[in-house]
Structure 1
Amino acid sequence: MAFPGRLSSVKSHDSQRRTDTGTENAGEIPHAKKPRSRPPTSLRDKLGFLQGHLPSYSGPYQVGSMDIEVPAENPRTFSNITRKHRHVLQLETVLFTLYYPAAIGSGTGRDPAGHKRWSRETWLPRPRCELAKGYGKFAGVPEPLSVAWFAATSMLTKLRAFRNAPPARHWPPEGPLKKPGYKRKDQQGPPPPGQPDEPQFPVMFFSHGLGGTRTAYSSMCGEFASYGFVVCAVEHRDGSGPRTFVNHRRGPDGSVDQHPVSEKVDHWPEEIERGYHVIDYLFPKDNPMDTSPSNDQGVDTELRLAQIDMRLGEFEEAHRVLCEIVKGNGEQIAKQNLRGKGYKGGTSRGLEGVDWSTWTNRFHIDKLTVAGHSFGAATVIEALRNTERFQHVHAGIIYDIWGAPIKPPADDPRHRIHSPLLGINSEAFMYWQSNFDRVMSLMKEATEQGAPAYLCTVRGSIHVSQSDFTLLYRHICSLLLKATVHPERAIDLNVSASLEFLRDVTSGSGRSIIERCLTDEKLLQTDLLEDVPDLHKPKEELIAMKLKVKHEFRTRLSAKIQRKLKRKKRHGFYKPGDEIWMHFKPEEDLLRAWRERTLGSHDLDEEDLQNDTVDSSDQEAELNSSP
């Protein structure tokens, strides 16, 4: 079936990929802009060599966070998969971390509960030693060694978000969007024309990959929050994380036995007695390496599809909780919260000091963006296809998707992708041919339904470049996995491309907040690449795991010197294609039709309709004017 996408991009991948020897500097480490300014804000930042630290956020908002775990409205099991005579996939509570724009003054003075010092949650969720052991089991490392490693590197690392901070109620200032976000924090500007004095923020759901947690992507989630998004990072209890703790509900007096465990889930007696149970990473039976590209057995379809089904259930439960908060029922949610004092993984502060009245109508709940990394991106695809079940989802973003667990598109056209879709690959995953072909098929599927779709690759990146691991363990990622992109710049590129995409396919105040906060790098206007270079392609047994850099020391040193010399010039050095490759994008007519259909012609101005025809010389001058 023909579809109105860029045919040149499709043709180059319908057959075996060819090496592009004509692309200028294809095999070199690309020219790159500096990461956005994130100056250190504390002694912990300046002494980062003692413990890994995460960079502050670059957007114009301060960021707050809160951990919420509440009982599911509909507890149930998924599939008939059992281990030790118990269902392994059962939904009893939903746990997520909420990252959001915080009010002016967050982080200074007393916190909302009256404490002298503001609190920031640790990056490794509590109980930290137990999580470290879970990572050891996931990686096949002895527990003592795993605990020692995390204790020496990131056990004390903290998120950059202030716990339980009040939500922002202001618009950031107007002015040149290239001004560093940290210089615009704690400043208020006028609302855009036609918008209320207090903004309503757009909402994003984020789904982690295998081995991930709700905090493993805190830099991506926090960056979006600093640019005006409320991000719900769900911790999946489907056996895809290293280790997670599910608290059981308690009675009015706090005792476990006062509240019977739901008959729809099953527990061992000792779990009921202690009030929680543990879920470790679930390896497929007789096929523990089903994620490997070289695995002849292929993916464990039964397990992975069941896990995705449970993840969708967790999305629904988290959406229900957010609906209650935005309606003004946050107090009731706080009373149900199982992450306070006395609960496993909880803290003494819990949701202490939160003024829930400030959350009423603070964010949009009828239009959501769903985003995810790797296996989480596969979850996003299934959410987009289930349009009747997820009517509130209006766009999807897939970061380095693992395509093997995804089912083929249904015969029923209603169960295909009808929403705009953005895919951002790492260069390491781009060389995985069968996976790349699956991603391209998703772009075609969306385009056939009339929805705009984009697919690009961040040059020099590896699979963990969209998580916190590359920020905390940057030397390992560089020396062993051969990543060449600056880890903070990789986050910048992913967030910038995502915001440009959402600006172009959304409407209302959600779009207004993006336009006010966005630093437009025009990444999605990058020209299509006919053929993908494979000069960084590793050996087949290392596909998707790492890159190959020839003459590494000389190549890296030469690139570093060239960047410093060329950055001294104002123009003629940088263009977006130096840092990303564009594989697929919608034709201008399709994008125009989508905007007119979803935004309404009265909401479109001349700049909207001519967004893809900006003079290239103006683009270059604008991009190179930033530091």
Structure 2
Amino acid sequence: MRFPGALQSKGQTEKVPNAQKPKFRPPRSLRDKVVFPIRSLPTYTGPYPVGTMEIEVPARNPRVFSHITREGKHILQLETVLMTVYYPSSYHDRNLAVPEGKKNLSRELWLGRPRVSMAKGYGKFAGLGDFLIPFMLPTMFTKLPAYRNAPVAEYWAPEVDTKSDGVEAKTTEGIKPEGAADEPIFPLIMFSHGLGGTRTMYSSVCGEFASYGFVVCAVEHRDGSGPRSYVNHAKSSETPGSVSDAEQQGHMDHKPRERERGYHYVDYIFPKNNPYDTAPQSDKGVDAELRAAQIDLRMAELEEAYAAMCQLQRGEGEELAKTNMRRKGFKGSSSRGLEGVDWARWKNRFSLDNVTACGHSFGAATVIEMLRHTDRFTWISQGIIYDIWGAGTKPPEKESPDHRIDAPLLAINSEAFTYWPSNFELVTSLIQEAQAEPQAYPAWLMTLRGTVHISQSDFSLLYPNICSIFLKMVANPRRALDLNINASLEFLAHVLPPDLAQVNRAYKNEGLLEAEPHPLEHIPSIQMHRPDDKWVAARLQIKHESIYRLSPKLYRKLKRRAAEKHGRRPETGDEVWLHVKPTAAVLEDFERKHGGRSRSLEAVTEGALPVDDISTEDSRMEKGSERAELEDGVDG
């Protein structure tokens, strides 16, 4: 496989981008310092402490999606919606939320309960069965670096982060912006996970957003795309969400054993006769019928979750808590449930408008479909897609001209996915779709160098050596997280209304969206980690990597010192390839119509091409004499 216009260079591929150091993340406790048997997640870098709530409530409209069945039971059913809400919390009032008889607030488990059963679900998804359980043992003790049910913040955070002012930034109140309300209104993000994901698999991304002043609702999809998810039934037959109610109202199927024990679980669903439809080399392509039905179910779950967030924002949290099925007595729940939450403080604390839809891989494909239905999702105003699985998207409806991306869009690729020809062509077409007339929206497309598909999840943080050795990830996983978040925060600063954007004022603007464009065909091959065809999208390639493998961390440190010694400072292009950014005309028109803002219009749009000039043909990658089709895939 080659790039038709790529610049060729002699010598070995650069092993590691000339990267900056990750943000400062001081350990909070012994749990964060111990390597084994407990694996810890890095603390969040924004000025706000982070709180979480675990919520499962009955769907308002329980129903079955698709006719697809297994063992006589419909496999795509909407019965309840499960979510973890990440939000800015108040350090000062934390003791007010400690339940009676408890010493302090607890922290949510990353793997979830019941832990061994959840590990078995991952084993089934990975094709390793129970052999994966010992491998998952360390993460059974991992907890999120956030406090369960902590009070939501009611103050403006200082305009600093933990790198510039240390952990004291999280215990300090800032001065409100001129003309702003005494208490900030936080923007809302709805997050959709990828195949094999859960509501906590992306806790670092969601928690980072929360630490900078966003409320994030991460939904756990029960569409058979996760490793295992427990669906609880209401205890009383007269209560909404009960088995009888779901069967009568939603025509759902339950086995006798499921009715008896009060719950059932949904494992990953492998397509019949084509279990690995996600692989780029799959001869049969993607199972379009199953994947399309899963997206329909996913969108319905996000609507249900948004309805729950509306209830919370209206100050009706007590009513929400009464129907919550993630409390003592229900499967997979913490005994703390929603104890200690001050529901009155949640009233009007976040905005229900100008919501950001965000997702990874198959979750990104879900976001695209939502952006094509803004008549249905009227509350969504922009989208962020991490490493979209293009084959999982639905094609635009040609007979419906309104079925197109109708909002600003930021697309961030891993380097591994950028080398997948049909997928890169697809994501480029999505950028074109967003910027197409008659209503052009600003859109960006970039690649993070040295990253792989799971670099945008917690897995690369919990198992960095596995990702380095087997997937050839060369970027520091914490720095990769920084780049994803910083680019996303820059994007939101440009497209959110000023009154919402000013909440996020402590992030470090690295100018990632203002970098010089790097068309894929102009990137020297020496900068690339392009793998052999059989590993496309799955991993990178590092030539002569034995010395590097002795200590990737030490190698990066020595390389950084050598650059400093020769007076070379890291540049944006060392870590990020910005392929496409909006023209000045597109951004100016958007700001005029929608009241957005840009700190430096000239820098943001310098070097951008009009949408009609964005070349996809020249930057397509050849694979032998055959092109990979959009129906091919990889794990989303």
**1:577 maps to which of 569, 573, 580:** 573
Structure 2 gap ranges (5+): 607-636
Specify whether residues 393 and 440 from structure 1 end up closer, same or farther in structure 2 by C-alpha distance, changes over 3 A only: same
**What is residue 211 of structure 2 aligned with on the other side?**
226
| Secondary structure of 1:154 counterpart | helix
Please give the residue correspondences for 1:217-616 in structure 2 after superposition, counting only pairs within 5 Å.
217-251=202-236, 260-263=245-248, 264=250, 265-411=252-398, 412-448=400-436, 449-514=439-504, 516-530=505-519, 531=521, 532-534=523-525, 535-554=528-547, 560-567=557-564, 572-599=568-595, 607-612=599-604
**What is residue 610 of structure 2 aligned with on the other side?**
none
C-alpha distance after superposition, 1:328-367 (max 9, x if no partner): 1110000000011010011211000111000000000122
Task: State the alpha-carbon separation in 2 of the partners of residues 587 and 257 from structure 1.
Answer: 53
Kindly provide the amino acid, as one letter, of the partner of residue 435 in structure 2.
Answer: T
Identity %: 51
**What is residue 618 of structure 2 aligned with on the other side?**
none
C-alpha distance after superposition, 1:504-523 (max 9, x if no partner): 01113220112x22211111
Please give the residue correspondences for 1:120-131 in structure 2 after superposition, counting only pairs within 5 Å.
120-131=107-118
Specify whether residues 396 and 162 from structure 1 end up closer, same or farther in structure 2 by C-alpha distance, changes over 3 A only: same
Kindly provide the amino acid, as one letter, of the partner of residue 375 in structure 1.
Answer: F
Task: State the alpha-carbon separation in 2 of the partners of residues 588 and 177 from structure 1.
Answer: 34
Task: State the alpha-carbon separation in 1 of the partners of residues 141 and 408 from structure 2.
Answer: 39
Shift of 1:23: 12
Worse overlay, 20-29 or 42-51: 20-29
User: Does the 8 A contact of 2:58 with 2:241 survive in 1?
Assistant: no
The reply to whether residue 148 of structure 1 matches residue 140 of structure 2 is no
Specify whether residues 451 and 479 from structure 1 end up closer, same or farther in structure 2 by C-alpha distance, changes over 3 A only: same
Kindly provide the amino acid, as one letter, of the partner of residue 468 in structure 2.
Answer: S
Task: State the alpha-carbon separation in 1 of the partners of residues 163 and 594 from structure 2.
Answer: 29
C-alpha distance after superposition, 1:108-165 (max 9, x if no partner): 697255621220011101111110000111111132x2222212x2110111110000
Number of aligned residue pairs: 594
Please give the residue correspondences for 1:8-23 in structure 2 after superposition, counting only pairs within 5 Å.
17-21=4-8
Worse overlay, 534-543 or 375-384: 534-543
C-alpha distance after superposition, 1:265-300 (max 9, x if no partner): 221122111111111100000000000000010000
The reply to whether residue 159 of structure 1 matches residue 144 of structure 2 is yes
C-alpha distance after superposition, 1:427-477 (max 9, x if no partner): 011100111100000000001040011010110001000000000100111
Shift of 1:87: 0.6
User: Does the 8 A contact of 1:18 with 1:533 survive in 2?
Assistant: no
User: Does the 8 A contact of 2:243 with 2:259 survive in 1?
Assistant: no
Specify whether residues 100 and 256 from structure 1 end up closer, same or farther in structure 2 by C-alpha distance, changes over 3 A only: closer
| Secondary structure of 1:517 counterpart | coil
| Secondary structure of 2:206 counterpart | helix
**What is residue 158 of structure 2 aligned with on the other side?**
173
**What is residue 621 of structure 2 aligned with on the other side?**
none
User: Does the 8 A contact of 2:449 with 2:475 survive in 1?
Assistant: yes
| Secondary structure of 1:240 counterpart | coil
Specify whether residues 60 and 595 from structure 1 end up closer, same or farther in structure 2 by C-alpha distance, changes over 3 A only: same
Kindly provide the amino acid, as one letter, of the partner of residue 479 in structure 2.
Answer: R
User: Does the 8 A contact of 1:443 with 1:453 survive in 2?
Assistant: yes
| Secondary structure of 1:54 counterpart | coil
Kindly provide the amino acid, as one letter, of the partner of residue 513 in structure 1.
Answer: V
Kindly provide the amino acid, as one letter, of the partner of residue 41 in structure 1.
Answer: R
Specify whether residues 171 and 464 from structure 1 end up closer, same or farther in structure 2 by C-alpha distance, changes over 3 A only: same
Shift of 1:562: 2.5
Task: State the alpha-carbon separation in 2 of the partners of residues 101 and 285 from structure 1.
Answer: 43
C-alpha distance after superposition, 1:155-206 (max 9, x if no partner): 1011111000010111112368962563411110111111101101000011
| Secondary structure of 1:122 counterpart | coil
Specify whether residues 66 and 257 from structure 1 end up closer, same or farther in structure 2 by C-alpha distance, changes over 3 A only: closer
Task: State the alpha-carbon separation in 2 of the partners of residues 110 and 388 from structure 1.
Answer: 39
Kindly provide the amino acid, as one letter, of the partner of residue 489 in structure 2.
Answer: L
Shift of 1:599: 0.6
User: Does the 8 A contact of 1:248 with 1:261 survive in 2?
Assistant: no
Task: State the alpha-carbon separation in 2 of the partners of residues 464 and 201 from structure 1.
Answer: 28
Shift of 1:559: 5.0
User: Does the 8 A contact of 2:443 with 2:582 survive in 1?
Assistant: yes
Worse overlay, 218-227 or 590-599: 590-599
Specify whether residues 180 and 304 from structure 1 end up closer, same or farther in structure 2 by C-alpha distance, changes over 3 A only: farther
C-alpha RMSD over aligned residues: 2.5
User: Does the 8 A contact of 2:442 with 2:590 survive in 1?
Assistant: yes
Shift of 1:533: 4.6
**2:45 maps to which of 58, 69, 80:** 58
| Secondary structure of 2:179 counterpart | coil
Worse overlay, 558-567 or 421-430: 558-567
Shift of 1:611: 4.8
C-alpha distance after superposition, 1:367-395 (max 9, x if no partner): 21011011000000000001111011001
Task: State the alpha-carbon separation in 2 of the partners of residues 24 and 503 from structure 1.
Answer: 41
Worse overlay, 216-225 or 261-270: 261-270
Specify whether residues 23 and 368 from structure 1 end up closer, same or farther in structure 2 by C-alpha distance, changes over 3 A only: farther
User: Does the 8 A contact of 1:134 with 1:280 survive in 2?
Assistant: yes
Shift of 1:554: 4.0
Specify whether residues 106 and 495 from structure 1 end up closer, same or farther in structure 2 by C-alpha distance, changes over 3 A only: farther
**What is residue 170 of structure 2 aligned with on the other side?**
185
| Secondary structure of 1:155 counterpart | helix
Shift of 1:107: 6.0
| Secondary structure of 1:513 counterpart | coil
**What is residue 101 of structure 1 aligned with on the other side?**
88
| Secondary structure of 1:352 counterpart | coil
Kindly provide the amino acid, as one letter, of the partner of residue 436 in structure 1.
Answer: F
User: Does the 8 A contact of 2:410 with 2:444 survive in 1?
Assistant: yes
| Secondary structure of 2:560 counterpart | helix
Task: State the alpha-carbon separation in 2 of the partners of residues 272 and 424 from structure 1.
Answer: 43
Task: State the alpha-carbon separation in 2 of the partners of residues 452 and 317 from structure 1.
Answer: 29
Kindly provide the amino acid, as one letter, of the partner of residue 497 in structure 1.
Answer: A
Structure 1 gap ranges (5+): 1-14, 615-627
Kindly provide the amino acid, as one letter, of the partner of residue 29 in structure 2.
Answer: S
User: Does the 8 A contact of 2:452 with 2:473 survive in 1?
Assistant: yes
**What is residue 622 of structure 2 aligned with on the other side?**
none
Specify whether residues 250 and 593 from structure 1 end up closer, same or farther in structure 2 by C-alpha distance, changes over 3 A only: same
Specify whether residues 506 and 611 from structure 1 end up closer, same or farther in structure 2 by C-alpha distance, changes over 3 A only: farther
Worse overlay, 325-334 or 134-143: 134-143
C-alpha distance after superposition, 1:291-326 (max 9, x if no partner): 000001000000000000000000100010000110
Kindly provide the amino acid, as one letter, of the partner of residue 496 in structure 1.
Answer: N
Specify whether residues 33 and 277 from structure 1 end up closer, same or farther in structure 2 by C-alpha distance, changes over 3 A only: same
Specify whether residues 390 and 192 from structure 1 end up closer, same or farther in structure 2 by C-alpha distance, changes over 3 A only: same
**What is residue 71 of structure 1 aligned with on the other side?**
58
